[in-house]
Structure formats: C-alpha cells, structure tokens
C-alpha cells in the first residue's frame, strides 16, 4: 500500500500540516465521535486556521477517511512485518500468530485513540465512509487469514478451522483486551497482557474437552 496515496503533490510543509490535523482529529473523534467533533475544534487543537483544514482536505469526512486509510496502513504493515519476521526465523504458524498478537498490542498501545475510533465505526452501516472502512477492514483480516490458511495447509492447524471466523475472533480478542487494558488497568505491562492472551489461545483456560462441532 502506498502510504502517501492521498497526497498528490505534497510539499514537506503541507505534509506537516496534514499530520498535525490527523493527530488533532484522531483524539477528538475517538473521544467524542465523528459527528460530535467540530471542524473548529480540530483546527484549534492542531493550531491551524479553519481555512487551512479546507485548503488541505475537501471536507470533514474526507479528512476522516484519509485518517482511516493512514492508520490502517500502519497496522497492516506492522502485522505483516511480524508474520514475515517469524517466518524468516523458522518459527511455526502458531509462533506467527503469537507475534502478530504482540504486534497488535504494540500498535494499540501506541495509537489507542485510532483503535478506539476504528472499533466505534467498524460496524456502522449507512455512513459515507462505509466503503472505505470495508476495504480497510479487509486488509487487516487478510493478513491474519493468510497465516491461518498457511497453517491449515501445512497441517499445523486442523483443516476444519473456520478461517474467516477465527480471524475475526482473534482480532476481537486482542482489540477488546487491549482497549480494556488501556482504559482500566493501564499500569500493567505489555508482556503481562501478551502472556494472558497467549495462555487463552493455547487452551489453558477453556480446557481441552472433546470437540462437539456441528
């Protein structure tokens, strides 16, 4: 994915202004939601005149859509990098999953506001940016599904594994655990959180009862 796909010309100065606007918008929208956040607020927090917002983005929703694309680009890059690194080190697909969980946690710890905003908007229908969101969601899920699929192909995971559903469940597990960690027990370390999730994934909580799949 071209990280600067939305910045046609893009002088350094302009890019810096855009970045300031992204940062201002992401926290405000995470806290208040898209509709409740005003363009005046975004401009003020970015330390920029309102006119500048409209000089750099066609509208409030375009600003938001580019913000989404930008953030998800960072996340998928990070997940892919984690999977590749494990593969190069000769790890199993289970190790790759573990590394991706860690990468996910690191991303959320670094960009909690973006994550919040992403979750809040993901399942909304009837919104202007819904199609953008679909594309962007598919990119994240595809990375995880890829690892699952390879694991099934190599026999490491059972071939009755439900790839799309498992991918979604993994995303949910990491997402909600991490947001809860940030919101309600921020003093805990990333290692701590990672260990708890690994444990859960290894079935040392749910137990190893016989399958009763339908």
Which residues contact DNA (rule: CB under 7 A)? 9, 11, 13-14, 16-17, 37-40, 47-52, 54-56, 59-61
Phi-psi region of 161 (alpha: psi -120 to 50; beta: other; left: phi over 0): beta
Q: What is the DSSP string of 18-80?
A: HHHHHHHHHHHHHHH-TTTS-HHHHHHHHT--HHHHHHH-SSHHHHHHHHHHHHHHHHHHHHH
156 binds, among a second copy, DNA, none (CB under 5 to 8 A by kind): a second copy
Span of 56-64, 68-76, 79-87, 177-185 interacting with a second copy by CB under 8 A: 177-185
Q: Which residue, chain included where needed, has tokens 């190599």? A: 154
Confirm or reject binding of residue 36 to a second copy (CB under 8 A): yes
Q: Which is nearer to DNA, 4 or 38 (CB)?
A: 38
214 binds, among DNA, a second copy, none (CB under 5 to 8 A by kind): a second copy
Give the residue, chosen from 123, 155, 186, 187, that forms a contact with a second copy under the rule CB under 8 A.
123
d(CA 115, CA 51): 28
d(CA 118, CA 182): 15
Question: CA 4 → CA 15, 25, 73, 194, 199, distances in Å?
Answer: 10, 18, 10, 32, 39
Residue 53: Cβ within 10 Å count: 21
Which residues, numbered 135-154, are part of the site for a second copy (CB under 8 A)?
A: 148, 151
Q: Which is nearer to a second copy, 65 or 121 (CB)?
A: 121
Q: Which is nearer to DNA, 24 or 174 (CB)?
A: 24
What is the pattern of x (binds a second copy, CB under 8 A) and - over residues 80-119? ------------x-xx-xx-----------------x--x
């Amino acid at each position: 994915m071209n990280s600067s796909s939305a910045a046609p010309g893009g002088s350094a100065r302009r890019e810096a202004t855009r970045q300031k606007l992204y940062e201002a918008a992401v926290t405000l929208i995470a806290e208040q939601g898209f509709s409740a956040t005003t363009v005046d607020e975004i401009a003020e927090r970015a330390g920029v005149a309102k006119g500048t917002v409209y000089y750099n983005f066609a509208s409030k929703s375009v600003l938001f859509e580019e913000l989404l694309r930008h953030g998800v680009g960072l996340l998928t890059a990070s997940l892919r990098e984690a999977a590749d690194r494990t593969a190069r080190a000769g790890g199993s697909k289970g190790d790759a999953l573990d590394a991706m969980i860690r990468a996910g946690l690191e991303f959320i710890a670094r960009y909690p506001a973006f994550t919040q905003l992403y979750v809040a908007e993901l399942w909304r229908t009837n919104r202007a940016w819904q199609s953008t969101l679909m594309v962007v969601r598919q990119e994240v899920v595809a990375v995880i599904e890829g690892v699952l699929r390879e694991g099934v192909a190599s026999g490491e995971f059972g071939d009755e594994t439900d790839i799309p559903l498992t991918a979604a469940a993994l995303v949910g597990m990491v997402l909600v655990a991490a947001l809860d960690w940030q919101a309600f027990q921020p003093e805990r370390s990333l290692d701590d959180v990672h260990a708890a999730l690994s444990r859960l994934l290894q079935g040392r909580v749910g137990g190893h009862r016989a399958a009763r799949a339908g």
